[in-house]
Structure 1
């Protein structure tokens, strides 16, 4: 065990970690936006054909490995004249893959709210937007945060798959460091520790947010 190897390659690994966090942040935000759209179509859309399309897409994604989707975007789309940069392939793949998973969580959270509350708001003349903001969102968020956090942590860890299409993220930097240092034990140990610390921080922040929202809901 040679700690100096980790110190020597710390700048390279740190740069890769920052790229991973940036990719995960962008992909997480776009996946949540996509999930919100899918949830709206599933719960509120009046067009059965569109609902059927969303359900079919969701079922298809649930049975598809993420790596296959990455390969399709990176290798197959250029044959049809659509060429995306490696980072854009990564963000797109993570968004398309995690959107349906997040949509299922959001949909379940909103459906857990008793329908009588929506009927009461409608009878009182409260608009749909006010009902969503002051009634539905307050109750759905505490329910949705734990599973959403788990999915976003999974998204962060799955950025490691993007190294196969030369996205310069954390694992890509780790492979470069290993090819130069011939010290896989030290490098992979540092990578594992960094992933653990980041996921621990995300989980801790989500837990704090959930507790605050739950207290606010009870109040």
Structure 2
């Protein structure tokens, strides 16, 4: 069987898997953002009782492999009575992992805003919360978008790991076709091309977001 015929026959299965990968990645991106923002805020608070648990969470997620985190959540939690479906376990693991990296990107961006911005806001009568939300955060987002977008793009590729917990996404779909055709090279290359295309789409969205955020400061 020539490569073109093989890819034509494999396309429906692989594209279906790619669709699951995209949905899976988007759900994990949303979960990562919902986790990352509050964690970043907790880490800059002056109260150690709140900042310390957030710092431990970030250190744990960044200091252990994502694959191990998947195994702990999917295979380990049933040992304490918590059973999750492959979809739920995969989204949870990816969201927790992405949230740690996103929180660090945002925390660094917040720290890059000059302290004078805080003091100026306080002198105008704004409190800590209003200063953070209305003055500091809009400036920090302009700095954080590139790093946060890179983390989200990496998340698309990280979804390939959920195949180890029997989640039928692009990588597992590719493996199933390979098992039936015994043609690994063209099929793995095709899978790589699909991941690349999805990453290019998100890179384009990243650049558009950067242009929008920087527009008020264009000269």
CA contact (8 A) 1:32 1:102 kept: yes
Alpha-carbon offset, residue 99 of structure 1: 1.2
Question: How far, CA to CA, are the matches of 1:132 and 1:188 in structure 2?
Answer: 46
Question: How far, CA to CA, are the matches of 1:88 and 1:165 in structure 2?
Answer: 11
**Secondary structure at the counterpart of residue 9 of structure 1:** helix
**Secondary structure at the counterpart of residue 168 of structure 2:** coil
2:17 corresponds to: 16
Question: How far, CA to CA, are the matches of 1:127 and 1:60 in structure 2?
Answer: 32
CA contact (8 A) 1:3 1:186 kept: no
Alpha-carbon offset, residue 87 of structure 1: 0.6
Question: How far, CA to CA, are the matches of 2:203 and 2:23 in structure 1?
Answer: 18
RMSD of the TM alignment (CA)? 1.6
Alpha-carbon offset, residue 84 of structure 1: 0.2
How do residues 194-213 of structure 1 correspond to structure 2 at under 5 angstroms?
Answer: 194-213=194-213
User: Please, which runs of 5 or more residues in structure 1 have no aligned partner?
Assistant: none
Alpha-carbon offset, residue 127 of structure 1: 5.3
Structure 1 residues 218 and 115 mapped into 2: Cα distance closer, same or farther (>3 Å)? Answer: farther
Q: Deviations over 1:19-58 (max 9, x none)?
A: 0010100101111110111111111363x22312221222
Q: Are residue 40 (structure 1) and residue 41 (structure 2) matched? A: yes
2:143 corresponds to: 143
Q: Are residue 153 (structure 1) and residue 177 (structure 2) matched? A: no
CA contact (8 A) 1:102 1:151 kept: yes
**Secondary structure at the counterpart of residue 113 of structure 2:** coil
2:4 corresponds to: 3
**Secondary structure at the counterpart of residue 121 of structure 1:** helix
2:216 corresponds to: 216
Question: How far, CA to CA, are the matches of 2:51 and 2:83 in structure 1?
Answer: 30
Question: How far, CA to CA, are the matches of 2:168 and 2:212 in structure 1?
Answer: 37
TM (normalized to structure 2)? 0.93
Question: How far, CA to CA, are the matches of 1:203 and 1:2 in structure 2?
Answer: 29
Count of aligned positions: 218
How do residues 6-155 of structure 1 correspond to structure 2 at under 5 angstroms?
Answer: 6-44=7-45, 46=47, 48-126=48-126, 128=128, 130-155=130-155
Question: How far, CA to CA, are the matches of 2:69 and 2:124 in structure 1?
Answer: 47
